[in-house]
Amino acid sequence: MRFVYLSSILILAIACKQQPDNHANKITGAKKFHHITFLLYENFDTSLLSSAVAEATTFYNCTATVLSSQDLPAFAYQGYRYKADSLLKFQTSLLPTSAESVVGITNKDISTSQGEHKDWGVFGLGYCPGKACVISVFRLKSGTYDQIKERFIKVVLHELGHNMGLPHCNANNEHCLMNDAKGTGATVDKEKKWLCPNCQQLLSN
Ligand SMILES: [Zn+2]
Ligand SMILES: [Zn+2]
């Protein structure tokens, strides 16, 4: 009976570690941002924006500036979507010297090349490592407003993780923020605003 009781505690402790709550945790480690910049493309939902800024500055323990809204550059538009790679180059050219990353956010559909797909729609794209990432809510828009907001925030935190040099989660932990969403909202929904021990360790070096 005593053994069962101790085992239960152990299982509960492991479960807690594998199922972090959904509030933004803070990263720890030698690598960190000090200041990031958000760039709005055209009209963007101010509630989504302010939530993302609040959670990104909490998670990365940094400050942030929001630049005034900017038109999407025409050269980035190719057929049906805006090329995320072109937007990253555009944003880098606007990067203030004080910022370590510029986060572009848009309602428009964005894409990148993936394997044989030349125009693969994505939630976001970020240099790894680097100083720019871009996030679109276009493909996150199903479900309730709160679900959309949570997905959007997770993608912002994920792309900033790439900017910091984090690759996709090599532990394949479905709760880890750096898990590869593979283009599905359901995968993003399983992620937490949390880095698994493997990804956290990468920030310590
Ligand atoms: Zn991970
Ligand atoms: Zn990614």
**Distance from residue 83's CA to the centre of ligand 1 (Å):** 27
The pLDDT score that the predictor gives to residue 54 is 97
Give the distance (Å) from ligand 1 centre to CA of residue 166. 9
- How far away, in angstroms, is 154 Cα from ligand 1 center? 14
Centre of ligand 1 to C-alpha 89, Å, is 27
CB within 8 Å of 120: residues ≥ 6 apart: 111, 112, 113, 114, 183
> Which residues have CB under 8 Å from 94's CB, separation 6+?
39, 67, 70, 102
The predicted pLDDT at position 31 comes to 78
Q: Tens digit of pLDDT per residue, the chain (205 long)?
A: 454 444 444 444 444 444 455 556 778 777 789 999 999 999 899 999 999 999 999 999 999 999 989 999 999 999 889 999 999 999 999 887 777 999 999 999 999 998 888 889 999 999 999 999 999 999 998 899 999 999 999 999 999 999 999 999 999 999 999 999 887 888 999 999 999 999 999 988 6
pTM over 0.75? The answer is: yes
* Ligand 2 center from residue 92 Cα (angstroms): 19
Distance from Cα 178 to the centre of ligand 1, integer Å: 5
How many Cβ atoms are within 10 Å of 15's Cβ, its own excluded? 9
Q: Ligand 2 mean position to 161 CA, how many Å?
A: 8
The H or E element that residue 157 is part of is helix 145-163
Q: What is the pLDDT of residue 36?
A: 94
For the record, the structure tokens of 199 come out as 């990804």
Of 123, 101, 124, 129, nearest to 39 by C-alpha is: 101
User: What are the tokens at 165?
Assistant: 């040099």
Which tokens is 3 given?
């053994």
- pLDDT score for 116: 85
Give distance in angstroms: CA of 143 to centre of ligand 1: 26
Answer for the pair 181, 139: CB distance below 8 angstroms, yes or no: no
pLDDT of residue 4: 46
pLDDT tens column, 45-98: 999 999 999 999 999 999 999 998 999 999 999 988 999 999 999 999 988 777
Distance, in Å, from the CA atom of 113 to the CA atom of 133, rounded to the nearest integer, reads 16
- Measured between alpha carbons, how far is 182 from 196 in angstroms, rounded to an integer? 18
